[in-house]
A = this chain, B = another copy of it.
Amino acid sequence: MSDLDAKKQELKEYLTKIEYLNSLLGLVHWDMRVNIPQNAVNYRGEVAGFLAGEHYKLITSDKVKEFIEYFSTCENLDEITSASIRKLKKEYDQTMKIPEKLYVEFVNLVSVAESVWEEAKKKGDFNLFKPYLEKIINYNKQFAELYGYKKKRYDALLDNYEMGMTEEELDRIFMPLKDAIINLLKKLKEANYEPKDHILKGHYPITKQREFARIIAEKLGYDLSSGRIDESAHPFTIELGVNDIRITTRYDEENFITGLLSNIHEMGHAIYEQNISQDLKGTLLMTGTSMGIHESQSRFYENIIGRSKEFWENIYPDVTNFFPELKRLSVDDIYDAVNSIKPSLIRVDADEITYSLHIIIRYEMEKLMMDEDIDVDELPKIWNQKYKDYLGVEVQNYSEGILQDVHWSGGMIGYFPSYALGNLYGAQILNKMLKDIPDLYERIENGDFLSIKSWLNQNIHRYGSLYTPSELIEKITGEKLNPEYFIKRCEKIVEAKLR
């Protein structure tokens, strides 16, 4: 074995250990959110802290520094090792830049902040959460300074969730999107458009919904012999290791659409993770490349497939077989209802058109938090004003306003844009896919979901984190992220409503 090969082998063994710890952290968190008995939470917190500490030790060891130095000087390094080292170096650099003391303070803060937020949301009391939000903003400012950035402080945080993303780039993408959507909502209002989502209300037994989820998994190609569907308060997808990608969902007995689309969304994430090449085992690359690309996959399945007319043509016989009362509605009725457009206060319940506005509001709030010296007292007022200006809705209490999302209480600033990027990536990918598969929608109608999955596997999934998100979108579509595809899609959807 050459010196280089021996070193590569050593690297692989080292990264494999980190992956084992990631797998254990995945299992610990999955269990905490799906199964754990209430009295066990505290001790499990200790165990999770212990694991995180072991992970920290492995990421920041001298061994890692040595690997980075060794491979940085290698010429003609293979693509996989090179990407693997890039990822390891990023984790090492980011972790080393934050003094341990500061990091522990922050972890302690957010572990309290999340429960305070829960309480504050329940009571609709912003003042309760305010001091925590203030501290979380200040810590994130400190972190951004320590990470370093070129133009805007916020950039340092954005880069954590979407490698290379900047405020300048997001402004370029989000500004036209915001104008376009506000304009479309104006048109709908002028035409007195009325959403018809209420026609779906009924009684859908949860045991039936659970069974139906398995049929959808089979259709779409979410492999349950390498996954599971469970239930939790907030739906999520989690990797527990090779061939173990689990999703959770939340069923509503009165509305089967919530649970169905939430399942399809999470299956989009899970299909991504299940189809990454196993050659990437032991490289840290066997996971989706960014939150934005991940959301593009979940939203592709949820919106582009799951809200298409052809999808409903295809599943109508199954759906009405499971829920006979739906026979009163035609495919057209259901299709119209699941595509209702309805400006509202709550992000997670938003339709495909208004969803991005919810994100853009949070993005603009985060810019204020990070780049300006904004008084935290001002934030709720600004939030409410933006909801009024962009969506035309009045926030009545903080629970359905600034307190609605968990992210900031969890210390995450810079995450929200990923959700909107997912929509944009998705539409751009669809445009390319339609060139390769012109009969895409016929295939959906015929239930040939597996050839669509196969295209995604081939062009996106298998690469895992081998490419950065911007490299990947260029590789797939031949151009960089372009908001026009999604804007056009929104215009088409609205036009159909006005016809």
Interfacial residues, chain A to chain B (CB-CB below 8 A): 17, 20, 23-24, 27-28, 31, 35-40, 42-44, 46-47, 50-51, 223-228, 240-244, 246
Given A37-B225, A38-B225: A244 and B43 interface contact (C-beta under 8 Å): yes
A31 / chain B contacts, CB cutoff of 8 Å: 27, 31
How far, in Å, is A44 (CB) from chain B's closest CB?
A: 6
Given A17-B50, A27-B27: A44 and B244 interface contact (C-beta under 8 Å): yes
* CB < 8 Å neighbour of A40 from B37, B50, B51, B244: B244
For A34, the closest partner residue in chain B by CB is: B35
* CB < 8 Å neighbour of A37 from B43, B47, B226: B226
Say yes or no: A44 contacts B228, CB within 8 Å. Answer: no
How far, in Å, is A1 (CB) from chain B's closest CB?
A: 21
How far, in Å, is A51 (CB) from chain B's closest CB?
A: 7
For A241, the closest partner residue in chain B by CB is: B43
A39 / chain B contacts, CB cutoff of 8 Å: 223, 225-226, 243-244
* CB < 8 Å neighbour of A242 from B40, B227, B241: B40
Distance, CA A51 to CA B225, complexed state (A): 24
Say yes or no: B51 contacts A24, CB within 8 Å. Answer: yes
Distance, CA A269 to CA B81, complexed state (A): 50
For A54, the closest partner residue in chain B by CB is: B54
Query: Quick one: which of A39, A225, A246 has the most chain B CB within 10 A?
Result: A39
How far, in Å, is A58 (CB) from chain B's closest CB?
A: 12
Distance, CA A414 to CA B135, complexed state (A): 53
Say yes or no: A47 contacts B241, CB within 8 Å. Answer: yes
A24 / chain B contacts, CB cutoff of 8 Å: 24, 28, 47, 51
How far, in Å, is A277 (CB) from chain B's closest CB?
A: 15
10 more contacts with CB within 8 A, not counting A39-B244, A40-B242, A40-B244, are A20-B47, A20-B50, A20-B51, A36-B244, A37-B246, A39-B225, A40-B240, A40-B241, A44-B244, A47-B241
A46 / chain B contacts, CB cutoff of 8 Å: 20
For A40, the closest partner residue in chain B by CB is: B244
* CB < 8 Å neighbour of A243 from B35, B43, B228, B241: B43
Distance, CA A443 to CA B373, complexed state (A): 63
* CB < 8 Å neighbour of A47 from B23, B38, B227: B23
Question: Which 3 pairs, one residue from A and one from B, show the smallest C-beta to C-beta distance?
Answer: A40-B244, A43-B242, A39-B243
Distance, CA A244 to CA B39, complexed state (A): 7
For A35, the closest partner residue in chain B by CB is: B228
For A244, the closest partner residue in chain B by CB is: B40
Say yes or no: B241 contacts A44, CB within 8 Å. Answer: yes
How far, in Å, is A333 (CB) from chain B's closest CB?
A: 34
Distance, CA A17 to CA B50, complexed state (A): 8
For A22, the closest partner residue in chain B by CB is: B47
How far, in Å, is A391 (CB) from chain B's closest CB?
A: 39
Say yes or no: B43 contacts A23, CB within 8 Å. Answer: yes
How far, in Å, is A205 (CB) from chain B's closest CB?
A: 12
Distance, CA A226 to CA B40, complexed state (A): 6
Distance, CA A36 to CA B242, complexed state (A): 12
Name 7 interchain pairs, CB-CB below 8 A, sorted by A. Answer: A20-B50, A23-B47, A36-B244, A37-B227, A37-B246, A43-B241, A43-B243
Say yes or no: B242 contacts A37, CB within 8 Å. Answer: no
Distance, CA A227 to CA B36, complexed state (A): 8
Query: Quick one: which of A24, A28, A47, A227 has the most chain B CB within 10 A?
Result: A47
A244 / chain B contacts, CB cutoff of 8 Å: 36-37, 39-40, 43-44
A37 / chain B contacts, CB cutoff of 8 Å: 224-228, 243-244, 246
A20 / chain B contacts, CB cutoff of 8 Å: 46-47, 50-51
For A207, the closest partner residue in chain B by CB is: B207
Query: Quick one: which of A28, A44, A228 has the most chain B CB within 10 A?
Result: A44
